[in-house]
């Protein structure tokens, strides 16, 4: 089965710093989804990437899918406390989503 590995598992940054979260697959990614979750709440859809080399941005968050389509990165510029939460990547597999284990982000004011 396809596996997704996220790194790092947790991240603590000072407000205003940039950060990157990675999602690596053992197989080619045909659809890669990024979600954000506040502790104890549901997932909020951030972005979806399909094409190798594709890059999407929303406010201060940018996601990329590498050319070989086996890794995606999520980059946050000038982090704010509102960015804190769990970031999960999900891969499209046989009409189902397989999720990574998540990255817990803490932003210190």
Partner 1 sequence: DGGITQSPKYLFRKEGQNVTLSCEQNLNHDAMYWYRQDPGQGLRLIYYSQIVNDFQKGDIAEGYSVSREKKESFPLTVTSAQKNPTAFYLCASSIWGDNEQFFGPGTRLTVL
Q: Give the residue from 89, 80, 97 showing the smallest Cα distance to 9.
A: 89
C-beta of 19 vs 86, nearer to partner 1? 86
Q: Counting contacts by CB under 8 A, is residue 100 touching partner 1?
A: yes
The pair of three-digit structure tokens given for residue 17, joined into one six-digit string: 């710093």
Write the DSSP string, 59-91: TTEEEEE-TTSSEEEEEESS--GGG-EEEEEEE
Q: Counting contacts by CB under 8 A, is residue 97 touching partner 1?
A: yes
Q: Counting contacts by CB under 8 A, is residue 99 touching partner 1?
A: yes
Q: Counting contacts by CB under 8 A, is residue 43 touching partner 1?
A: yes
Residues that bind partner 1 (CB under 8 A): 4, 9, 31, 33, 35, 40-45, 48, 88, 90, 92, 95-97, 99-102
């Amino acid at each position: 089965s396809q596996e997704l590995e996220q790194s790092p598992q947790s991240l603590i940054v000072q407000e205003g710093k940039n950060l990157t979260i990675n999602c690596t697959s053992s197989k080619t990614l045909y659809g890669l989804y990024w979600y954000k979750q506040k502790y104890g709440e549901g997932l909020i859809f951030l972005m979806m990437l399909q094409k190798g080399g594709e890059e999407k941005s929303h406010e201060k968050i940018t996601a990329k899918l590498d050319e070989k389509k086996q890794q995606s990165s999520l980059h946050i510029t000038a982090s704010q406390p509102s960015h804190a939460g769990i970031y999960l990547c999900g891969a499209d597999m046989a009409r189902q989503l397989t999720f990574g284990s998540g990255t817990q982000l803490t932003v210190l004011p």
